[in-house]
Amino acid sequence: MFGSSGSRVLNVINISYLQSRSKRVWVRKPLGSPMAKSKIFRITPKPVIPEDEKAEMKRLFDNYKNSMKSLRQYFFEQSLKQAESGEVAQMKHRLEDQEHERLMEENLLENEKTAMLREERLKIQAEKTQKNVLASLIKKEREAKQHEIQIEDFLTKQMSTPFIKPENIEKAIEDALANPVNFNFALDLDGYVYRGKETSIDMIPEEKRERLNSN
């Protein structure tokens, strides 16, 4: 039913283990085999331990485990310390420190390099912004000047038109009364003016007047 589980292995003192060729020794039931008929409905009685005894045992075990664990950790730390205090370890530490210092100096040099590059870049940027600001200022000045010129032109134009001031008012009134404006005129598409209310176009042959807007 179950195949022979190999040859026997004796408990020996010497390092090599001997093989035995006689009876097969039953070590354990093979793992895939089913439970025996006499054992399938067996219910093993669970050991009943009273609560206070359980508590006492737990307390003892906890104390023991705590002490063992702490001892173990303490010894581990001690062994680490010992390893560190040995000669080889000290040399290692020294080498490491030297290496570290060398790397720190390298780092400082690199920092300085980047700082220099950064300063140059910032300088270039500052010049650029200065130029930009100057250019914009100049532009603004120019525009302001142009604006001023425009305003002056407009003002001169306005001043040149014949305004009626309080000194001229009497003269203006007399002029207006003396020269009444007649609005009875018509305009041609070609720009000719036909004055008067009763004039007809056919009556004026060649005396056409091109009147530009006189203002």
Partner 1 sequence: MPFMKGPAPIRRTMEYLDRNKLVLKERVKIFSINYNTKGENHEGARQFVFWHLPQLQFKNPNIQITTFKNLTPSPFIRCYLENGEEVLMDVDFKSKDEIYERVRRIICKSEETLKAEDKLDNPANFGSKCQKHCICEVPGQLPCPSLVPLPKSWRGKYKFQKPDEL
Q: Where along the sequence are the contacts to partner 1 (CB under 8 A)? A: 9, 11-13, 15, 17, 100, 103-104, 106-107, 110-111, 114-115, 117-118, 121
- CB of residue 118 vs partner 1: minimum separation in angstroms? 5
Q: Least distance to partner 1 from the beta carbon of 66, Å?
A: 23
Nearer to partner 1, 120 or 188 (CB): 120
Q: Which CB atom, from 113 or from 147, has the smaller least distance to partner 1? A: 113
Q: Which is nearer to partner 1, 107 or 184 (CB)?
A: 107
Q: How far is the CB of 80 from partner 1 (least distance, A)?
A: 12
Helix pair angle (51-85, 87-160), 10° resolution: 90
- Nearest CA to 19 out of 28, 10, 27, 32 is that of 10
Structure tokens at 165: 């001031």
Closer of 110 and 148 to partner 1 (Cβ): 110
213, two tokens = 């807007």
**Smallest distance from the beta carbon of 113 to partner 1, in angstroms?**
9
Count of C-beta atoms within a 10 Å radius of residue 199: 13
Look at residue 193 and give its three-state secondary structure.
strand
Which position has the token pair 């142009």?
146
Q: How far is the CB of 19 from partner 1 (least distance, A)?
A: 13
Provide the minimum distance between the beta carbon of 34 and partner 1 in the complex, in angstroms, as a whole number.
Answer: 28
CB nearer to partner 1: pick between 104 and 201:
104
How far apart, in whole angstroms, are the C-alpha atoms of residue 137 and residue 145? 12
- How far does the chain reach from its first CA to its final CA, in angstroms? 135
- Quick one: 120 or 152, whose CB is closer to partner 1? 120
Question: Could you tell me which of 190, 188, 189, 194 has the C-alpha nearest to residue 207?
Answer: 194
Cβ atoms of 188 and 194 within 8 Å: the answer is yes
